[in-house]
Amino acid sequence: MSTDLTEDQIKHILQGIKIPPQPQILVDLQMEQVMPNPDIRRIAELISLDVGLSGTILKFVNSPFFALSNKITSISQAVSLLGLHSVINIINGISIKGEMSDETIVELTRFWDTANDISQIAFNIAKRIGSPAPDQAYALGLFHNCGIPLMMQRFPGYLALLEKAYAEPHKRITDTENEVYNTNHSVVGYYTAKSWNLPVDICQAIAEHHAIERVFEAGANSSSNKRTLLSILKIAEHLCGNHVTFGNQSIDYEWQRIKKQVLEFVGLSSYDLEDMRQTFEEMGISLAPESV
């Protein structure tokens, strides 16, 4: 089933979407949509590689207009429900207005690349541990840092502050951000994900993905699904090397603090991580050099 959305409905739901899509993804989508017979599966695949586009599509399909009983995190399912015509109209509605500077594109490349790699790793880890919701793990991997480009837009020099935060051995990354900006990328990401109508556990996981110790201390007061999602995410972040990409650090201080709790919760060992590392490298996923 698919339902065509009106132009007014599209304009209304597009309000507040600010994360710019990757220029190359937009080019690929534009090329696909002008083909004689556009491949909706290929379009869904391209959309799933981009944080902003994925968030927008999920916001549409999870909106009151569709009145779904359960919120969707699968991009392919969302695209199928929306239908080709509506998806093309949405894409055209959020095409970049004005060109981004070369400097902005270079800065955002770090964000785009890690989001894609971590989402793929998270999806595969979820399948490996028998999680019933690998699509949710993929979505969290894709969206967990969606607050970063928004912080970059709001605060000049934000990436330098983020490097400083990753260099703190005993302090949470978000605490360093809070001291300077009175907010942080996890909070901004939470409200962005909420505006996209993502499931509650994913929104909360985004808000707390740098507060793992507190989540595990909460025990029964924190849902098992959220703890599983966060554990998968932190493993994926460590393997992908956010501490290198965003922090320019050789040591993953956050991982040192949470490693034991995370691995025990999902039933994995350090040997399992090495096995997965080899698998992901064979898949062509970019990983950080082995670190502590």
Domain boundary pick from 43, 70, 93: 93
Based on the domain organization, do 212 and 181 belong to the same domain? yes
- Total number of domains constituting the chain: 2
Please write the tens of the pLDDT for every residue from 34-83: 788 889 999 999 999 888 889 888 888 887 767 788 888 899 999 998 88
pLDDT at residue 201 is higher than 50: yes
Domain boundary pick from 34, 67, 93: 93
Range of the domain at 50: 7-93
Instruction: Give domain status of residue 134, yes or no.
Output: yes
Instruction: Give domain status of residue 14, yes or no.
Output: yes
Instruction: Give domain status of residue 109, yes or no.
Output: yes
- pTM beyond 0.75: the answer is yes
pLDDT, averaged across the chain: 84
Instruction: Give domain status of residue 1, yes or no.
Output: no
pLDDT at residue 217 is higher than 90: no
Based on the domain organization, do 262 and 121 belong to the same domain? yes
Q: Can you give the pLDDT at residue 204?
A: 93
Q: Can you give the pLDDT at residue 179?
A: 94
pLDDT at residue 96 is higher than 50: no
Q: Can you give the pLDDT at residue 269?
A: 93
pLDDT confidence band for 165 (50 / 70 / 90) = very high
Domain boundary pick from 93, 120, 155: 93
Based on the domain organization, do 118 and 161 belong to the same domain? yes
Higher pLDDT, 236 or 147: 236
Higher pLDDT, 58 or 2: 58
Higher pLDDT, 131 or 66: 131
Residue of 136, 129, 141, 124 lying closest to 237 (CA atoms): 141
Based on the domain organization, do 36 and 110 belong to the same domain? no
Based on the domain organization, do 145 and 36 belong to the same domain? no
Report the CATH number at residue 207.
1.10.3210.10
Q: Can you give the pLDDT at residue 282?
A: 87
157/165 Cα distance (integer angstroms): 13
Instruction: Give domain status of residue 288, yes or no.
Output: no
Based on the domain organization, do 199 and 168 belong to the same domain? yes
Q: What is the rounded average pLDDT of the residues 135-157?
A: 89
Based on the domain organization, do 56 and 124 belong to the same domain? no
Instruction: Give domain status of residue 292, yes or no.
Output: no
Cα distances from 118 to residues 6, 30, 124, 137, 257, in angstroms, run 35, 26, 10, 10, 20
